Amino acid sequence: MGCSMMVFVNVTEDENGCDIIDQKDREAFRIRIQAPENRVKLAERLRNKMEYDLMEDYKGHIDYIKEYVPDVSQDSDSFILGTEFPERIKTCVQNWNVENAKQCIRKFQNLEQQAEKEGFETLSQFLTAKISKTGTFEEIHYPASLYELRKALDAADGIFSYGSLSNLAYFTYEDQNGMEWPCHGVTMEEKAMDFVLAHPERYALIEIVYD
């Protein structure tokens, strides 16, 4: 069945694998990429380019990347190109880390609502009542799920795990001296965010499916 997630990546090559070097190249790329067949080619190229590295960097969590092409239409939320929609890329980056925190809060809220529904005043009382005779927690049904909470806590703590509720940053950025640095993980550091906000046309957000 697999899990899906959005991955934030560099776009340094066009749909044919040719380097995008300057603004002239990027403008020609922006025009060509309007063709549906070129959008599919680019999506496949971006997926294939990161496939091996993701499986190496996240062994035990990502065993393989499926040959899946997301919706590549221009109004898609599964394939967003900064060269077309720089403001959408900027908004995504500005909200990147806070979304992990909000996701965690929502999972706590689900548990709190379930506790109230069952007549408990506090979450700790509710969880205490869920401890079985063997000392383990009884099943707490979705959406009030400890499993979902654990995944959200992982993401809020900057940890990627299988089935993570977060998106994944997997790109490089430049410092003031033009030196390239990686930004790999579920959180983005401030320097990386600042560079992307200044150069959104160099990036994309793409959905992948993995197992």
- Mark 124-154 as b/e (b = at least 16 C-beta within 10 Å): eebeeebeeeeeeeeebeeebbeebbebbbb
Please state, as a whole number, how many other Cβ atoms lie within 10 Å of the Cβ of residue 57: 16
What are 15-58's pLDDT values in tens digits? 999 999 999 999 999 999 999 999 999 999 999 999 999 999 99
Q: What is the pLDDT of residue 57?
A: 96
What are 156-179's pLDDT values in tens digits? 999 999 988 889 999 999 999 999
What are 92-123's pLDDT values in tens digits? 999 999 999 999 999 999 999 999 999 999 99
Residue the block writes with tokens 């991955």: 7
Q: What is the pLDDT of residue 18?
A: 96
Please state, as a whole number, how many other Cβ atoms lie within 10 Å of the Cβ of residue 73: 11
Q: What is the spatial distance between Cα 32 and Cα 29, in angstroms, rounded to a whole number?
A: 5
